[in-house]
Amino acid sequence: VPPSVIADIYFAAGERDRGFAWLERAFNERDDTLEGIRIDPVVAPFRSDPRFADLLRRMGLPQ
């Protein structure tokens, strides 16, 4: 199971910190499903978190 999918599970459960920890793991493992993060509706409520903007920046994606 890709780390970004596990992140989605935690985000859906409202567990923001665990979700971001798994997104970080997805980034470090170069999870290719992570590139859809900007349009992921499960993550949408957490996009205002500074960790989201930081992740996009490190991925080289526009915010």
Query: What per-residue confidence (pLDDT) applies to 62?
Result: 85
CA–CA gap between residue 57 and residue 18 (Å, rounded): 20
Question: What is the reported pTM?
Answer: 0.92
Radius of gyration of the chain (CA): 10
Region of residue 60 (phi > 0: left; psi between -120 and 50: alpha; otherwise: beta) = left
Domain ranges of the chain: 3-59
Category of 40 on φ-ψ map: left (φ > 0), alpha (ψ -120 to 50) or beta: beta
Instruction: List the end-to-end C-alpha distance of the chain, in Å, as a whole number.
Output: 27
What pLDDT, on a 0 to 100 scale, did the predictor assign at position 8? 97
Rounded mean pLDDT, 15-22? 98
